[in-house]
Structure 1
Amino acid sequence: MKKRYSIVLLLLFVGSWIAKAQQLDQTYNQKIKDFTTDKRFLPESLLDVVDHPTIPSPLKHFGHIIGAEGHVHTTDKIYAYYQKLAETSPMVHMQEMGKTEEGRNFYLIVIGEENSIKNLDFYKEQTALLSDSRKTNPTQAEQIITKAKPIYYLSAGMHATEMGSPEMMMELAYRLVTSEAEQIKEIRKNIITVINPVSEPDGWDKQVDWYYRYTKGRELFDDGFPRSVPYWGKYVFHDNNRDGLQVSQAITKSIFKGFFEFHPTVMLDLHESVPLLYISTGTGPYNDFVDPITQSEWQVMGNHDVAEVAAQGMPGAFTWAFYDGWWPGYGIWVANNHNSNGRFYETYGNAGADTYLRDLSTSRYAGDLATSKEWYRPDPATPQVLWSYRNNINYTQTGVIASLSYAATNGKQLLRNFYKKGFNSVEKGKTEGPKGFVIAKEQRDPAMAAYLANQLMVQGIEVHESDDEYLILSEQPYRNLLVSLMTPQSYPKDAKFPPYDAIAWTLPNLYGVEVDALDVIDSKNLSSYKLLSEEATYKGKIDGSGSTFILPYHAQNTVLPALYALKQDNKNANISVLKKTEEVNGKSYPAGSVIITKSNSNQIKKISENFGLNFHASSTDFSKIDQKSVNLPRVAIYHTWFNTQDEGWSRYTFEQRGIPYTSIDKDDFKAGNLKSKFDVILIPRVRGNAKTFINGVDSKFGTMPYTKTSEFPSHGFPSSTTDMTGGPGFGGIENLRKFVQEGGLLIALENSAAIMSELGLAPELSAASSGSLFHPGSIVMAKIRKSDSPIVNGYPEEFSIFRGNGPLLQTNKYNRDLMLVQYGSKPLKDEIPYEGPILGMPDKAKSEKTKAKEEKSKPYVVAGMVRNEQEIIGHGTVFNVPVGRGNVLAFTFDPLHRFLNHHDAPMVWNALINWDRLR
């Protein structure tokens, strides 16, 4: 009797505690109402935030609710809240995933029922087993599925100005661990939720400081004031979501690490740009190598979430009409590329925690007004909305809970699909071609062959190695991705809507590496290959004997950094390059080949091994051979304050290559005396035109420092200024002109080349009409026109480059010698010899030479798609314009695009090696 009485008391106590624990936090819920501008923007399901006695809500922790007007939090405060949740709830696990470029932490927050957290390693093991059908047969997979749980990965804050999701995630986390609502309990029980709370901590902290420093409380959203801090990451701005093939930035490495540790069944990335809530499926065309199961999951989950939002009475949710689904290089596509499912949301954001009247009346997606009722948008928003920070939080959270609920209800099917996609990939590797790929180690740039092997391994693709080559077999779980990366893409020319990003990514072309596809592998002695488990390296060699060292030049990416490294070790080393192809002792050395004297074999061995370069030692006297002494330049990379995207990629490329540079801005142009400080100035691609380049950020906003202070400690990096406003002005442009006239080399990339032409700094160049040309990022053919220019040293007569939509430049026919490289194989129309009758001269037949040229013409597009390519073929790819004693080198494409088209970059390195002999 006493025992039964004790049990009753215990039950009454537990019941009382639960009742107390589930008491609603009326203050929190009322404040949600207060900061929501329309009751239709707030579903009842969000008005059940509880007042938990031991787990602090955001209101208790911060003193205000999530989405409160005027309040955002830096990463240290966000992480501190998650740490408090982990300390007070056994359903929360927090783990570090690495460091940013600036030293901030990446974290993942894992939430599930207590048993899930206790046995987290077990559940990770189950999804890992399901990821490889070579280790787990279908029968075993079904057994695993009965005890496994789907892992759902949520990612916030990739783009710094999209400021809703990192805040929303804190409220969501609190809700997931405290709510006893049936939907939430089902999520806790049936799935494991992984939260990436701030994908880009460096950019987030800069943007939070920017908000408090400049944009908080501004009356109008569209007042022209820059809503974004000038830098996000140390190197990469908005392109931090375009690094999924390179995996070069810390943010991407953290995302990849999280994927391969957890093998999440679904990954959902939260963004802000589209009213009111876009749930991704995309218009297509979809990537050819995404499993049909994934494509179908996009539709099912997208429509489920729209229906769930609509069911709660919230207007403006839609799918389909934004984005395509083609390019595989987004961060979240680590999921789609590896047999999982990658999705994203776009909500409407105000780049801060203020409320604004927003005008949607002219916004169009897939040709339709954002306010029109469509099959994919059952309940559109009105042409104007009064939009608050809390509205954003409400929409994102409602959609995310719907997504988690779908996974909790359909988890077994999602796990089965995950396994089946990997199974399909392995089976295709057995039955479909190619059966594998071979990369010979000896290439014109062998270091890039090793780099290609490493990039495949970064993607989780298995690479085998023999003494002579790398072998990649198709029979593996990520076969689809392998074939996608190694073979040309063909984007449909008749696609109804323009692509969202680049449409070609064939790595052998982008890296300049020869790869052989294998239809059969029977001829390979597989026992002679070993599975690579460490990073592939190519160590260069030295053959021959003597005190002169020759490097045959083939536009290797590592030559210039090797020369800088040699000079750092031995400032007395003498370096020169051959001006033209020379034959010495029966051996042919191409133009650009490097000759080094006043060095020793130990120094040459060091750079040979470190930079993957093959040298020949000789006792032959090379002094009588025509060569040019190398004077390694002092390089500056220019950045504006209104667009830092591509200069960041340029800085990153230079640093990765080990090429020293100085970062400069408008104040350096205005200060003048540029030639006394620099030999080469690189102006990376920058948006805008001559007007925006001269004027920069509008000075009507007054002085705008970007400096580190105690109040704004994240500012002033990676560059600092006491005033961002204004540009170099006409005085700065005149100083840049003097720099070139005094013998400097100005290198301008893509749109910046057009700007230099507009400014008159390259007076022989003018804009060329591109007519109906449509040239999204594709790999295309180019042809050398001036083979004696050192800019094209190491390149064959025809080679592929990567080019997107960009400007075209032209010069008068009598100045065509300024054109070093052209697009395509055929000449411009005005350069085609006239073959018709000429009055006063006898008729003549079309020459055999002209016939032969026409027959040899290669297709322009290597991978991707170009519409109306006749508008570009024959136009200049690279121009070399003499100005005074110096030169302007104008690239009408970007050879330093996103640290991706490495095959194109050596034209820039050639310019630096030969900066003082381009006349």
Structure 2
Amino acid sequence: MAHHEIEEMTKRGVIGVWTHGFYDGWAPNYLLSIANNHNSIGRFYETFGNGGADTRVRTLRPPDTRREWYRPNPPLPKVKWSARDNINMQESAILLGMNNVASSGEKFLNNFYLKSKRSVGKARAEGPAAWVFPADDARPAEQASLLNLFELQGVEVHRLEKEWRIPAAQESLGEPGTDQEKTAEKPDAPAKSKEAKKPAETIIPAGSYVVRMDQPYSRLADMTLDTQYYSPRDPRSYDDTGWSLGALRNVKTTRVTDLAILNAAMQKMGRIDPPGGIEGQGKTLLIQHNTDNTLATLRFRLPSVPMEAAEDSFEADGIRFKAGSFIIRNADRPQLEKAARDLGIKLHATSATPSVSTHPLAVPRLALVHNWQNTQNDGWFRIPMEELKVPYTYVADTWLRETTLLREKFDVIILPPMGGGGPAGLSVALRGLPMRGDPRPWKNTSETPNFVAPGLDSTDDIRGGLGYQGLANLERFVREGGLLMAVQTSASLPVAGGMTEMVNVADARAMQAPGSVVLSTIDDKKSPITYGYDDKLYVYFRQGPVITVGGNFGGPEAEESAGSPSRSSGRGTASDPDIIQGRPYEPPEKPVRRSPHEQELYVPEDLPDFVRFAIPPKDQQPRVVLRFAAEKDLLLSGMITGGNEIAEKPAVVDVPHGRGHVVLFANNPMWRGETMGSYFLVFNAMLNFDHLDVGTAAVKSK
């Protein structure tokens, strides 16, 4: 198809048309993937741009004008070019391409048929047979959301009528957030009997959902649910390298290779709506915190209804409720019943009084910040807020600079990834667009009537960035009780801006992580930010930052770095002790083994007073909430080299400042409509913004 268009364009005297100028095409996240994922053909055109609508004389680089084997008719070294030229060239090529398809319609239709036929045969040719979504998933709303997404894409979803058992030898991907990931027996593990080593069969409950691999769009489902591996030997990926949707959405999935499941009794589904409502009797309503994102919708839908968060797990009527579960006392039952049915949330009514400490769940006033250079990253935060009906105000960095009393207007401010990290990132944030020339407005006028859609931001001048005054305004906002959440590259702003102590944010030295799915572990189960989560959580991580916590006060490390000799040069071998001559040998004390959490905040007893003076009090020290897994367990999907730079390092850190808090994210919790499993890290922080100290030693001592 490309050669046809090149031939036709060149025949008409167009200079500089060629193919083989590919990007890697690994990540299925551009519009052409819509066709590729549905057994059709996706085309990717790139035409010389202009950086604006003006006509200009453009000079090309020598590498772009050389004749190559794939480019016998290269572009001219200098060309007068405009946006109109760009559009004309694209439109011409597209019309020629469409004519080619129309003229050879039977061939292309037959190709579509063959691809679809082979996709139906996938289950028996290369497998798997199916992907199963267990009926007992703790997050039914998110499970339904993912399955409905497949339905929207033309992927058929079925539901098992009876329990199904997978033989013990069955290969399974495991369940995100649980301990069922694939594991191998460690060489040094103690010997067990053959009976003890024998794996048990997997029981899939009746009512579980099945995405069969013997259907026309099976490859779309398989590609998005399976893990991805991108070899470090390959050219650097243009975009993300991992996107396993079950893991990122914190939804259980099981990869089934046993063809017998295709013969199981099952019904084809349409739209899936999780059941919701109230069961039981009593004036107190309890909602299990399962991190389903519809819980945030419920809170903001009923802002006038008092709701409390349980500060620990508790039991009521024989049901075990997690920490963070919602407690609603003396509620309007019909009002809650309707909301529960609409949102697919189950409530339990009880006459018992939960014996657990609680605090009010807030309905915070939220500001979502953007700059005037790029709004793509904050757009991925806006979409879930709007879809989940979480109200927010969209504000610019320049507005923060001009608004002193932020705490009077907002409770929570989110800084999505903006600009670079480190000191350079702070400089870019403070400067913004240079204050040169005339003001640069961004607003609707008679000449530009479509710049700003209703509800979006506008200004008379986009220059100047956050500025020192904006940084001071944010610091005051936090000090007066607000919550500032800073994500990925934006994490450097509050750290370098002096709002945190005992925290450092840096760029990776040698690590390469071009958008991957990695494992993290809950480090502080008492923190309200982790309410509702299990011990493990898969998150999206791209390149940085690397967050470290602690005062670097010294003290023996838990162990020597792997492979490094531990003795000085001298007599004997590398494994012999270093015996100093002229005095009796005294074996050294064995170093105390500390977990990363313990080592970070370790303060040696012999620390000098003038250094100890700099240590903040306990209630002002950083609190690691989420931590990246050990290097051997870190990567699920995609590619990471040099993963030791983030292994067992903090992923989410809560830092008190004044009466408020700064929460730093090394992962991106809201990215491309994929990371629904980590959304509630943000929502938990928001709903508990004024009680984030819960579970700390400082609170316990009060």
TM-score tier after normalising by the smaller chain length: 0.7 to 0.9
Any conservation in 1 of the 2:316–2:350 contact (CA below 8 Å)?
no
Structure 2 match to 1:552: 288
Any conservation in 1 of the 2:486–2:662 contact (CA below 8 Å)?
yes
Tell me, what secondary structure is at the counterpart of 1:318?
A: coil
| Residue 451 of structure 1: how far off its partner (Å) | 0.7
| Residue 846 of structure 1: how far off its partner (Å) | 11
* Partner Cα distance (1:765, 1:805) in 2: 19
* Partner Cα distance (2:42, 2:372) in 1: 34
Structure 2 match to 1:870: 644
1:645 to 363, 366, 376: 376
* Partner Cα distance (1:856, 1:742) in 2: 37
2:673 corresponds to 1:896? no
* Partner Cα distance (2:16, 2:559) in 1: 50
Q: Deviations over 1:733-756 (max 9, x none)?
A: 111110001111001111111233
* Partner Cα distance (2:565, 2:300) in 1: 50
Any conservation in 2 of the 1:780–1:802 contact (CA below 8 Å)?
yes
1:489 to 228, 240, 265: 228
Structure 1 match to 2:633: 859
Say if 1:353 and 1:659 are closer, same or farther in 2 by CA, change over 3 A. Answer: closer
Q: Deviations over 1:346-379 (max 9, x none)?
A: 11122554321223227xxxxxx32333222223
* Partner Cα distance (1:556, 1:878) in 2: 20
Any conservation in 1 of the 2:558–2:594 contact (CA below 8 Å)?
no
2:496 corresponds to 1:758? yes
Structure 2 match to 1:722: 460
2:273 corresponds to 1:532? no
2:10 corresponds to 1:303? no
Say if 1:518 and 1:911 are closer, same or farther in 2 by CA, change over 3 A. Answer: same
1:570-589 equivalences in 2 (<5 Å): 571=304, 573-584=305-316, 586-589=318-321
Any conservation in 2 of the 1:745–1:915 contact (CA below 8 Å)?
yes
* Partner Cα distance (1:847, 1:651) in 2: 44
Any conservation in 2 of the 1:434–1:519 contact (CA below 8 Å)?
yes
| Residue 398 of structure 1: how far off its partner (Å) | 4.6
Structure 2 match to 1:99: none
Any conservation in 2 of the 1:835–1:846 contact (CA below 8 Å)?
no
Any conservation in 1 of the 2:503–2:549 contact (CA below 8 Å)?
yes
| Residue 466 of structure 1: how far off its partner (Å) | 5.0
Structure 2 match to 1:318: 18
* Partner Cα distance (2:452, 2:641) in 1: 44
Structure 1 match to 2:410: 678
Structure 1 match to 2:56: 356
Say if 1:561 and 1:813 are closer, same or farther in 2 by CA, change over 3 A. Answer: same
* Partner Cα distance (1:578, 1:504) in 2: 36
Say if 1:827 and 1:336 are closer, same or farther in 2 by CA, change over 3 A. Answer: farther
Structure 1 match to 2:75: 381
Say if 1:712 and 1:616 are closer, same or farther in 2 by CA, change over 3 A. Answer: same
TM-score, L = length of structure 1 = 0.60
**Higher helix fraction (1 or 2):** 1
* Partner Cα distance (2:518, 2:404) in 1: 39
* Partner Cα distance (1:795, 1:918) in 2: 16
Say if 1:832 and 1:439 are closer, same or farther in 2 by CA, change over 3 A. Answer: farther
Say if 1:521 and 1:842 are closer, same or farther in 2 by CA, change over 3 A. Answer: same
* Partner Cα distance (2:553, 2:337) in 1: 45
* Partner Cα distance (2:631, 2:417) in 1: 31
| Residue 617 of structure 1: how far off its partner (Å) | 1.6
* Partner Cα distance (1:725, 1:778) in 2: 35
Tell me, what secondary structure is at the counterpart of 2:46?
A: strand
1:696 to 413, 432, 436: 432
| Residue 772 of structure 1: how far off its partner (Å) | 1.5
| Residue 494 of structure 1: how far off its partner (Å) | 1.3
Structure 1 match to 2:203: none
* Partner Cα distance (2:553, 2:671) in 1: 28
2:216 corresponds to 1:477? yes
Structure 1 match to 2:700: none
Any conservation in 2 of the 1:877–1:893 contact (CA below 8 Å)?
yes
Any conservation in 1 of the 2:311–2:358 contact (CA below 8 Å)?
yes
Structure 2 match to 1:631: 362
Structure 1 match to 2:112: 418
* Partner Cα distance (1:827, 1:892) in 2: 24
Structure 2 match to 1:912: 686
Count of residue correspondences: 592
Say if 1:743 and 1:390 are closer, same or farther in 2 by CA, change over 3 A. Answer: closer
* Partner Cα distance (2:674, 2:319) in 1: 34
2:32 corresponds to 1:332? yes
Say if 1:633 and 1:833 are closer, same or farther in 2 by CA, change over 3 A. Answer: farther
Structure 2 match to 1:741: 479
1:745-824 equivalences in 2 (<5 Å): 745-813=483-551
* Partner Cα distance (2:67, 2:378) in 1: 42
Q: Deviations over 1:239-276 (max 9, x none)?
A: xxxxxxxxxxxxxxxxxxxxxxxxxxxxxxxxxxxxxx
CA RMSD of aligned residues (A): 3.2
Q: Deviations over 1:641-668 (max 9, x none)?
A: 2221122221221111111222222224
Tell me, what secondary structure is at the counterpart of 1:370?
A: helix
Structure 1 match to 2:180: none
Any conservation in 2 of the 1:540–1:613 contact (CA below 8 Å)?
yes
Any conservation in 2 of the 1:358–1:385 contact (CA below 8 Å)?
yes
| Residue 910 of structure 1: how far off its partner (Å) | 0.7
Structure 2 match to 1:598: 330
Tell me, what secondary structure is at the counterpart of 2:498?
A: coil
Tell me, what secondary structure is at the counterpart of 1:690?
A: helix
Say if 1:400 and 1:899 are closer, same or farther in 2 by CA, change over 3 A. Answer: closer
1:457 to 144, 151, 155: 151
Structure 2 match to 1:501: 239
Tell me, what secondary structure is at the counterpart of 2:672?
A: helix
Tell me, what secondary structure is at the counterpart of 2:519?
A: strand
Say if 1:710 and 1:411 are closer, same or farther in 2 by CA, change over 3 A. Answer: same
* Partner Cα distance (1:338, 1:829) in 2: 53
Any conservation in 2 of the 1:828–1:874 contact (CA below 8 Å)?
no
Any conservation in 2 of the 1:635–1:679 contact (CA below 8 Å)?
yes
Consecutive unaligned residues in structure 1, runs of 5 or more: 1-300, 363-368, 817-825
2:449 corresponds to 1:713? yes
* Partner Cα distance (2:431, 2:594) in 1: 55
Tell me, what secondary structure is at the counterpart of 1:916?
A: helix
| Residue 720 of structure 1: how far off its partner (Å) | 1.7
* Partner Cα distance (1:334, 1:471) in 2: 23
Amino acid at match of 2:71: R
2:343 corresponds to 1:611? yes
Any conservation in 2 of the 1:435–1:520 contact (CA below 8 Å)?
yes
Structure 2 match to 1:667: 399
Any conservation in 2 of the 1:827–1:873 contact (CA below 8 Å)?
no
* Partner Cα distance (1:865, 1:319) in 2: 28
Q: Deviations over 1:175-231 (max 9, x none)?
A: xxxxxxxxxxxxxxxxxxxxxxxxxxxxxxxxxxxxxxxxxxxxxxxxxxxxxxxxx
* Partner Cα distance (1:844, 1:686) in 2: 46
2:141 to 441, 444, 447: 447
Tell me, what secondary structure is at the counterpart of 1:767?
A: strand
Tell me, what secondary structure is at the counterpart of 1:592?
A: coil
Amino acid at match of 1:506: S
Tell me, what secondary structure is at the counterpart of 1:399?
A: helix
Say if 1:835 and 1:589 are closer, same or farther in 2 by CA, change over 3 A. Answer: farther
Moved more, 327-336 or 429-438: 429-438
* Partner Cα distance (1:515, 1:748) in 2: 31
Amino acid at match of 1:436: A
Any conservation in 2 of the 1:749–1:894 contact (CA below 8 Å)?
yes
Any conservation in 2 of the 1:361–1:384 contact (CA below 8 Å)?
no
Percent sequence identity over matched residues? 33
Structure 1 match to 2:657: 883
Moved more, 497-506 or 772-781: 497-506
Any conservation in 2 of the 1:828–1:873 contact (CA below 8 Å)?
no
